[in-house]
Amino acid sequence: MNTIFKVMILLLTYSVFGQNTYLHCGTIIDTKSGTTLSEKTVVVSGKKIIAIENGYVDANALEDIIIDLKDKTVMPGLIDMHVHLESETSPKAYLETFTKNDADVAFTSAEIAKRTLMAGFTTVRDLGGSGVNVALRDAIAQGKVPGPRIFTAEKAIATTGGHADPTNGMRKDLMGDPGPADGVINSVEDARKAVRQRYKNGADLIKITSTGGVLSVAKNGQNAQFTQEEVNEIVETAKEYGMVVAAHAHGNEGMKRAVLAGVQTIEHGSFMDEEVAALMKQNNTYLVPTLSAGRYVQEKAKIPNYYPAVILPKITSTMAVLDKTIAMVIREGVPIAFGTDAGVFPHGENAKEFLYMVEAGWSPIFSLQSATITNAKLLDMETDLGQIKVGYLADIIAVNANPTQDISTMQNVVFVMKEGDIYKK
C-alpha cells in the first residue's frame, strides 16, 4: 500500500505542472561524487528537475516530451566565471572603442550570449564591460533574448592608468580625468564611491584590476595598482552591499594585497609564487586560471599588427612563466574555479579550457567539477546549479562521448536545456 501511495503521489506531481520532459540518459556525470551513472530518466517539469528514475521511463501523458539521449553523456549546464560578453577579439577591437555605439555593443552582445549558451554554458560571470552587460543580463532573465544566466560586474574598477582605465592609449585631449563613476579611483574615498556606483548601476559583484594587464595599452602588466587601504575598502564596501570581489591580477604584490583584503577570486595569477599560493589556501581564495586566453594571445601575437606594439613584450613575458606557475599551483593545491576570459578569444570556444586544464595536469573530472559544483558554490547557487539533482534548476547539457575518458568531447555540446527550455537538440 505504501508503494502504491508513493507512485500515485509521483504521478500527481508529474501531471500538476502540465507538460513534462523525459530525458532518457545513457550516461550521467554525477558532479558531486565524481562518478558516472548509467541508464537514467531525468524528469523535468517547469524550470526544475522533479525526478531521476532508473532505466528509461515512459511518459505519463500525451503532451509530455521524450528526449532520446541514450547514446550521449549528460551533465549539468556549465558555468564560466570569467567572460566579457560585450566584445570579442579582433585586430579592430581597439578602434571599435571609438566607432561602436551602445546599440552596436548591445546587438553584438546578444549574438555572443546565444553562442555561449549553445556551447553549453548556461551560467556566466561577466567581469567587465561598459554597462550594456547589465541590460543583457536582464533581457535574458526576462526571456527577451536567449543566453546564459549572467552575474555581472558591470564596469571593472581601476586606478588612473590602470588595466581597466578606459582612456588608456588615447591622445591627451581625449583622456580627460575619469573618476569613480567611470570605475577609476585614486583614494579610499574614491574606492567606496566606485563600489557604490557599480551597485547603483546594477552590478551583481565587483571586479578590480589589482595589477597591470597584458592587453591594456599600458606598459606594465604586473605592477600593483591599488594600495592595500584602497583594496581593503573596495572589499569591505562590496560586502556591505552584498557583493563579492573578483581581482584581475598577474603580479605577486597586487595578488597578495587582494588576497589579504578578502577577494573571492584571483583572475589569471600568471606570476604567482609559493607565498601567494599559501595565502590563497589559507584564505580560501580561488584562482581562475583562464588558460584559454593565454594560449590564444600567444598565437595571435605572431600576426603583425594584431595587437598594439606595447602589448607584445607583456605577452612574451607572461607566457614564459605561465606553465611553471600552473605546475606550482597544482602542486600546492590552490583552490581552482573554471573561467576562460572569453572575448580575449572567440566566444563559444570556452570548452577549450577543459583541454588546457587536463594538459596542465588536472584530471578531467576535476575540470568538470570546477565548472559545475565549484562555481555554483562560489555564486551562492549550490542548491540550484551544478548538479543533476531533484529540486535543482533544469540546466542540462549533453555531449557525444564520456568526457572523463575523452575531454575533447566538451567542444561539441549537442543538447542544451536551461531552466527546462530546450535551446539545442
Is residue 11 over pLDDT 60? no
Mean pLDDT of 71-81: 98
pLDDT digit string, tens, across residues 167-192: 888 888 888 888 899 999 999 999 99
The average pLDDT across 384-403 equals 98
pLDDT computed for residue 177 by the predictor: 87
Q: pLDDT tens digits, residue range 204-228?
A: 999 999 999 999 988 898 999 999 9
What residues contact 402, with CB distance under 8 A and at least 6 apart?
27, 36, 73, 409
Give tens-digit pLDDT for 131-166. 999 999 999 999 999 999 999 999 999 999 889 888
List, in sequence order, every beta strand (DSSP E) within 8-120.
Answer: 20-30, 35-45, 48-54, 65-76, 78-83
- Mean pLDDT for the stretch of residues 343-362: 98
The predicted structure's pLDDT at residue 175? 83
Contact 232, 208 (CB under 8 A): no
The SS3 call for residue 181 is: helix
Query: What is the average pLDDT across 252-273?
Result: 98
Res 377 pLDDT > 50: yes
| DSSP category for residue 336 | B
* Mean pLDDT computed over every residue of the chain: 94
Query: What is the model's pLDDT at position 18?
Result: 67
Closest CA to 286 of 249, 313, 322: 249
Beta strands 158-159 and 149-152 are unpaired
Please state whether beta strands 158-159 and 286-288 pair in parallel, antiparallel, or not at all (unpaired): unpaired
What is the model's pLDDT at position 14? 44
Report the phi/psi class of residue 271: left, alpha or beta, with left for phi > 0 and alpha for psi in -120 to 50: alpha
H-run or E-run covering 126 = strand 121-126
Set of cell numbers at residue 76: 549539468
DSSP labels for 152-177?
Answer: E--S-BEETTSTT-TTTT--HHHH--
Tens of pLDDT, residues 28-69: 999 999 999 999 999 999 999 999 999 999 988 888 999 999
Work out the angle at residue 215's Cα, subtended by the Cα atoms of residues 221 and 152, and round it to the nearest 5 degrees: 105
pLDDT number for residue 169: 83
pLDDT on residue 98: 85
Give the strands of the sheet with 121-126, arranged side by side. Answer: 78-83, 121-126, 149-152
Is residue 17's pLDDT more than 80? no
According to DSSP, the residues that pair with 152 across neighbouring strands are 126
